[in-house]
């Protein structure tokens, strides 16, 4: 595991039913926070962590994500001809030149574990990252995935992002039972997907960032459907714990649950308040309503 992180998986095959009717035609990962779609924030974080191969696990309806990272020939030609250099740079720099995108289809929606397993042929046996774009993590310094990748490499172990949630919400998350080893890290003893509050081992919830060894693929292959009848990544991680160390990692940053309307609103306001051209007017609006 103490190799640098080169490959990151983005499971983006979900239907985004919480944002219907918008998601009839717009992939939920393309919903914007200000002027960037959620997937752009996720990709930026992965590239910052050192990734040069981005694997999008998608479905046959989600052309927009591939289009977004592809060359927009007509648009670029028009902007170039009209001398709009800054806009041209924005369009061309959605991804650095050395980074490649690979698109893998998840034919059936069988769960997050199944989605990650679809990336096996591209990853093979090396440590890799998983980023769930719904979980948008903001911070001023080093991105959450890079914090985790550096920690995982130094410990020669896996790492999963966690944060505390209200006990009443444990049934929305993977929940870990872990022994603290430092301010940020705790060695995971057990992990369970979406337990009811009364049986949850803690209120420390998994956030959508993982650094995992290639071994997880073999474990996923024998993982039976779990919570919600889906093949759960959490269950394969539970099996991994018998073989390797996996840490729960309290990242430095603020998470927004952009899989929910309220989370999307909060993220939009937060990012507007960070933007010098929008901050004052946004603050004025918030205090007036």
Binding residues for ligand G1P, per CB under 6 A? 112, 132, 135, 173-174, 193, 205-208, 232-234
Q: Which residue of this chain has its Cβ atom nearest to ligand G1P in the complex?
A: 174
Minimum gap (Å) between residue 255 Cβ and ligand G1P: 9
What stretches of 113-199 adopt beta strand conformation (E)?
A: 128-131, 135-138, 158-164, 174-180, 185-193
Residue 232: alpha-carbon gap to chain centroid: 16
* Distance, CA of 224 to CA of 285 (rounded, Å): 50
Q: Which is nearer to ligand G1P, 84 or 167 (CB)?
A: 167
Minimum gap (Å) between residue 276 Cβ and ligand G1P: 31
Q: Which is nearer to ligand G1P, 136 or 153 (CB)?
A: 136
Copy the structure tokens of residue 64: 């927009």
Minimum gap (Å) between residue 176 Cβ and ligand G1P: 9
Minimum gap (Å) between residue 258 Cβ and ligand G1P: 10
Q: What angle do CA 63, 59, 263 make, to 5 degrees?
A: 85
Q: Which is nearer to ligand G1P, 155 or 163 (CB)?
A: 163
Backbone dihedral angles phi then psi of residue 196, each to the nearest 5 degrees = -65, 150
Minimum gap (Å) between residue 3 Cβ and ligand G1P: 25
Q: What angle do CA 43, 171, 164 make, to 5 degrees?
A: 65
Q: Name the nearest CA neighbour of 162 among 237, 243, 215.
A: 237
Burial of 168 by CB count in 10 Å (0-12 exposed, 13-18 middle, 19+ buried)? exposed
* Distance, CA of 9 to CA of 210 (rounded, Å): 10
Copy the structure tokens of residue 52: 């040069």
Q: Which is nearer to ligand G1P, 79 or 208 (CB)?
A: 208
When computed from its CA atoms, the radius of gyration of the chain, rounded to whole angstroms, is: 19
Minimum gap (Å) between residue 253 Cβ and ligand G1P: 14
Minimum gap (Å) between residue 231 Cβ and ligand G1P: 10
| 3-class secondary-structure state, position 157 | coil
| 3-class secondary-structure state, position 253 | coil
Q: Which is nearer to ligand G1P, 19 or 272 (CB)?
A: 19
Minimum gap (Å) between residue 83 Cβ and ligand G1P: 43
Residue 164 in contact with residue 153, Cβ under 8 Å? Answer: no
First to last CA, the chain: 50
> Is-cis flag, bond preceding 21, omega within 30?
yes
Q: Which is nearer to ligand G1P, 174 or 253 (CB)?
A: 174
Q: Which is nearer to ligand G1P, 27 or 205 (CB)?
A: 205
Copy the structure tokens of residue 170: 């444990």
Q: Which is nearer to ligand G1P, 185 or 206 (CB)?
A: 206
């Amino acid at each position: 595991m103490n190799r640098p992180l080169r490959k990151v998986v983005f499971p983006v095959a979900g239907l985004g039913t919480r944002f219907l009717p918008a998601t009839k035609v717009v992939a939920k990962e393309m919903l914007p926070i200000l002027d960037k779609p959620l997937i752009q924030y996720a990709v930026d974080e992965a590239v910052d962590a050192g990734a040069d191969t981005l694997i999008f696990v998608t479905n046959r309806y989600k052309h927009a994500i591939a289009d977004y990272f592809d060359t927009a020939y007509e648009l670029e030609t028009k902007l170039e001809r009209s001398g709009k250099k800054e806009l041209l740079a924005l369009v061309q720099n959605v991804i650095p030149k050395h980074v490649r995108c690979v698109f893998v289809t998840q034919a059936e929606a069988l769960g997050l574990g199944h989605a990650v397993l679809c990336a096996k042929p591209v990853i093979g046996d090396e440590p890799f990252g998983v980023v769930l774009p719904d979980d948008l993590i903001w911070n001023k310094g080093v991105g959450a995935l890079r914090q985790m990748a550096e920690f995982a490499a130094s410990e020669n172990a896996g790492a999963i992002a966690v944060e505390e949630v209200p006990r009443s919400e444990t049934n929305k998350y993977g929940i870990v039972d872990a022994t603290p080893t430092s301010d940020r890290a705790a060695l995971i003893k057990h992990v369970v997907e979406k337990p009811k509050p009364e049986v949850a081992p803690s209120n420390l919830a998994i956030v959508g960032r993982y650094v995992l060894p290639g071994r997880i693929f073999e474990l996923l292959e024998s993982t039976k459907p779990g919570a919600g009848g889906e093949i759960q990544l959490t269950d394969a991680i539970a099996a991994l714990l018998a073989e390797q160390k996996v840490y729960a990692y309290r990242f430095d940053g603020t998470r927004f649950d952009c899989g929910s309307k309220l989370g999307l609103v909060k993220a939009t306001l937060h990012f507007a308040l960070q933007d010098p051209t929008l901050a004052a007017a946004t603050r004025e609006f918030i205090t007036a309503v």
